[in-house]
Amino acid sequence: MLQVKESVFVEDLLMVNPKLLIALGHFIMYAEKHNLPVTITSIIHDRKNVASVSRTHEDGRAIDIRSRDWPKQHVEGVIDHMMHIANHYGAISASDYERRVIIHHKVKGGGEHFHLQVSR
């Protein structure tokens, strides 16, 4: 099931980088196969309480998806799936110069989540 947190503007999906929609599609395909929820918690707006590590959201190149309702095996499973299928769309990290289309993390002020990110 695809849903968005109530404070998220769904219209933001019309303004993001098209590569992000492709990455999201691959993510959703994994989730559907395993009957897992896809809850979008941040797109471009709704960044007030989040200590962001980069400007990928503001640039329309990132989307956050809740992971607290996902079993650990599938957290690892979807990362593996995304790295194999869509990592060439990934953004390059400013800290280690590695390309990654998906990161699983928890930032200050937010819950544990997947951060999908694409290059310009």
Please state, in angstroms and as integers, the Cα–Cα distance from residue 113 to each residue in 2, 7, 66, 71, 103, following that order.
15, 16, 5, 13, 8
Which region, judged by CB under 5 A, interacts with Zn ion, from 1-9, 11-19, 20-28, 109-117? 109-117
> Which residue, 81 or 115, is less far from Zn ion as judged by CB?
115
Taking a C-beta distance cutoff of 8 angstroms, is the pair 9, 45 a contact? yes
> What's the min distance (Å) between Cβ of 99 and Zn ion?
16
What residues between 13 and 72 interact with Zn ion by CB under 5 A? 62, 64
Site residues, Zn ion (CB under 5 A): 62, 64, 115
